[in-house]
Amino acid sequence: MKFLAGEFDVAVIGAGHAGIEAGLAAARLGCKTGVFTINMDAVGNCPCNPSIGGTAKGHLVREIDALGGEMGKAADECFLQSRMLNKGKGPAVHSLRAQIDRRAYSTRMKHTLELQDKLELRQAEIISLEKDEDGIWLLTTRLEAIYKAKAVILATGTYLGGKIYVGDVSYESGPDGMFPAKYLPESLEKMGMSIRRFKTGTPARVLRSSIDFTDLEEQSGDEPIVPFSYDTDDPGENKVKCYVSWTNENTKKVILDNIDRSPMYSGKIEGIGPRYCPSIEDKIVRFSDKPRHQLFIEPCGLDTEEMYIQGMSSSLPEDVQLAFYHTIKGLEHCTVMRPAYAIEYFCADPIQMNSTLEFREFPGLYGAGQFNGSSGYEEAAAQGLVAGINAALKIQGREPFILDRASSYIGTLIDDLVTKGCNDPYRMMTSRSEYRLILRQDNADVRLTPLGRKIGLIKDERWEKFNNKLAKINAELERVRKTVLSPTDELNAILRDNNTSEVATGIRLCDLIKRPQLSYDILTPVDRTRTETDRTVLEQVEIEIKYEGYIKRQLIIIDQVRRLESKLLPVDIDYSKIEGLRLEAREKLNKVRPENIGQAGRISGVSPADISVLIIYLSTLPKNGREKNNDN
């Protein structure tokens, strides 16, 4: 018999990376929050790679932390090895990545939810979702308990209608052998929501003692360690090594000889897989000219002997997996503890949502993470944070929180999803942003911590620490711009040794730092007035000086774009009735429902000529309410 089990301001369905950030944000903003998970032991689980960060993903983690989220802090506490990727390139693409202890991370996140005021963590499968006559959401569990909520956030990950594929074998399941969310998809479709099938996969885990590390390339962590969180003062030490190996012609032959046994190629899998993280069989077929593919052998934790084979996800049968793993150097005699698998699941078309991640047709209902068609823990956590913030703000009658593309990678991620949609699992990459030089991971706090403070997620101690850092940056910038170095023999020797021109007169320190051949460290012997030793401060100052001209040009472009985004489009506009718009533009605009002219211009199929028509159309409308101040 059904019974009323509880009432919440915000209910979060799912306790993966999106659900965690959503639940914590809503509760920390003062809303009574319920977080529902099919299995309490799967809170914060990392069913695929046991790592946080990576190219562009490290930017997202830094931004989550800058806004007051949890992922960066947890990663710092549970990391096994930390590395800064792309150090040989410019600062715009430097990205932090940490191998983590997946069980420690899960335990830490679960405990954080349990200790959070105004948050209740519940083990329950939500099987239906509907609204009552008062506009309150009703969530029904498989055990027939009913919960009421003013707002609901769907963060179901790969559980929603999950189905596992290994060769000819397929069965209903969530990741890591968990139960799937079997009944909720039918409820969502009954509401009128557009959902579709996507697919992802994960490699095998192998027994450490069965690996021959003798001839494998070692990957050590960085020293000193750079933490994800701006709150982490002592990140600790690297604890493990990772290893690199390669596929070969024998690996390729085993896979191609059995490609007909792959459910992806036999047509059994309907879902669309990730373009930028393909299975090993997909790599072999798509890049047939490549003689080999790189793979990484990484530990899953300190208290387990499982090793993760990154770059080798597969849905081939288990016997074929054993055969191709055994062709690889170091894995010739490996014992597979968990075979690789593909998982197919339901997700929503994100074009149904606005920039707050609220469904336009279902007020009070939000989506986050893989439910929105994205892939990756970091992408999920970023969306969860934004959805949780906006659900709380709406309940409290406050202004929505919207990040634009020029403010953050989070803003770029969400704008891409809700404006362009995605035909395959979306993955964040640095190339997706037009403003990479502005949106660096090193300055995420400068860009976003004031916004986190305004929302209410950045507390006094963190705010004071941030302002102290800003003061140090400004003081150091002023010093290097005012300091003039004399043309001494010592200085000119340094300049000659670094292949840059000598000086005959005094020169400002900032002008020397600006030279590509020079840096703070190189100039230390002649920079005798420097007292600042904080590496994060010096890094910010050096980047600001070296890229000053480029940064100024990007800021001008951002200002121009934001002027377009200040021109709001009426929510009830019927684009089919606007004369001058092309047919394709009318269809796309009516489907996406852009919030402003800037967003309209990013829709595929909407041309500059169509934008001109929209601007002229707006000029004929009453001005009240059509312009906004963009504080983000």
Residue type, 444: A
464 within some domain: no
pLDDT digits 0-9 by tens, 498-541: 999 999 999 999 999 999 999 999 999 999 999 988 889 999 99
pLDDT at 602: 92
Supply the pLDDT for residue 621.
Answer: 86
pLDDT of residue 532: 87
Residue 624 lies in a domain: no
How far apart (Å, rounded) are the C-alpha atoms in residues 155 and 45? Answer: 13
**Tokens standing for 283?**
């790599």
pLDDT class of 630 with cuts at 50, 70, 90: very low
Query: Based on the domain organization, do 41 and 163 belong to the same domain?
Result: yes
Same domain, 362 and 504: no
Contact yes or no for 80/301 (Cβ under 8 A): yes
The structure tokens 């190996």 sit at 245
Q: Please name which of 108, 119, 112, 113 lies closest in space to residue 26, comparing C-alpha atoms.
A: 119
What CATH number is attached to the domain comprising 305?
2.40.30.260
- Asked whether residue 201 carries a pLDDT value surpassing 80, the answer given is yes
Separation between Cα atoms, residue 164 and residue 201, nearest integer Å: 9
Phi and psi of 23, rounded to 5°? -65, -45
Same domain, 351 and 287: no
Q: Are residues 212 and 196 in the same domain?
A: no
What's the confidence (pLDDT) of residue 491? 95
Percentage of the chain lying above the pLDDT 90 cut: 88
Q: Give domain status of residue 465, yes or no.
A: no
pLDDT the model gives residue 276:
65
pLDDT tens column, 453-490: 999 999 999 999 999 999 999 999 999 999 999 999 99
Verify that 327 and 363 share a domain, yes or no: no
| CATH code of the domain in which 350 resides | 3.50.50.60
| Residue 10 in this model has a pLDDT that exceeds 60 | yes
Residue 277 has pLDDT above 90, yes or no: no
Is residue 309 domain-shared with residue 263, that is, in the same domain? yes
Domain count across the chain: 4
Using CA atoms, how far apart are residues 452 and 630, in angstroms rounded to an integer? 16
- H or E segment at 344? strand 341-348
Question: Looking at the DSSP assignment, which residues form a beta bridge with residue 244?
Answer: 217, 296
Segment among 365-369, 451-455, 480-484, 599-603 with least mean pLDDT: 599-603
248's tokens: 């070969």
Residue 286 confidence (pLDDT) above 60: yes
H or E segment and range at residue 263: helix 263-266
Q: Is the pLDDT of residue 625 over 90?
A: no
Cα distance between residue 464 and residue 356, in whole Å: 29
Torsion of CA 617, 620, 622, 623, to 10 degrees: 70
| DSSP classification of residue 110 | H
Which residues form the domain of 585? Answer: 566-619
Output the pLDDT for position 269. Answer: 75
Whether residue 154 lies inside any domain: the answer is yes
d(CA 6, CA 13): 15
- With H, G, I as helix, E, B as strand and everything else as coil, classify residue 261: helix
Cβ contacts of 391 within 8 Å, gap of 6 or more: 10, 22, 26, 31, 151, 153, 358, 364, 366
Q: How far apart are CA 538 and CA 217, in angstroms?
A: 33
Residue 245 belongs to some domain of the structure? yes
Which of 159-173, 344-358, 579-593 is predicted with the least confidence, judged by mean pLDDT? 579-593
Claim to verify: residue 414 and residue 516 sit in the same structural domain: no
Is 196 found in the same domain as 165? Answer: yes
Q: Where are the extended beta strands (E) located within 349-483? A: 365-367
pLDDT digit string, tens, across residues 241-276: 999 999 999 999 999 999 999 887 777 777 676 666
The secondary structure of residue 337, as a DSSP letter, is E
**630 part of a folded domain:** no
Last residue of a domain, one of 402, 421, 455: 455
305 close to 242: Cβ distance less than 8 angstroms? no
Residue at which a domain ends, from 308, 342, 376: 342
Q: How confident is the model at residue 342 (pLDDT cuts 50, 70, 90)?
A: very high
Q: Is the peptide bond before 224 cis (omega within 30 degrees of 0)?
A: yes
Within a 10 A sphere around the Cβ of 39, how many other Cβ atoms? 16
140 in the same domain as 40: yes
Sign of torsion over alpha carbons 192, 193, 199, 202: negative
pLDDT of residue 493 exceeding 80, the answer is yes
pLDDT surpassing 60 at residue 374: yes
The answer as to whether 367 is a domain residue is: yes
C-alpha 17/C-alpha 24 separation (Å) is: 11
Is residue 24's pLDDT more than 50? Answer: yes
- Are 35 and 157 found together in one domain? yes
Q: Is the peptide bond before 317 cis (omega within 30 degrees of 0)?
A: no
**Residue 108 in this model has a pLDDT that exceeds 50:** yes
Structure letter (DSSP) for residue 65: H
Tell me the pLDDT tens digit for each residue of 37-82: 999 999 999 999 999 999 999 999 999 999 999 999 999 999 999 9
Residue 80 lies in a domain: yes
Residue 521 belongs to domain with CATH number: 1.10.10.1800
Yes or no: say if 340 and 204 are a contact pair by the CB < 8 Å rule: yes
Instruction: Among 552, 580, 605, identify where a domain stops.
Output: 552
Q: Is 463 helix (H, G, I), strand (E, B) or coil?
A: helix
Same domain, 61 and 147: yes
**Identity (one letter) of the amino acid at 422?**
C
Same domain for 361 and 338: no
Closest CA to 382 of 116, 142, 71: 71
**Domain holding 575: CATH number?**
1.10.150.570
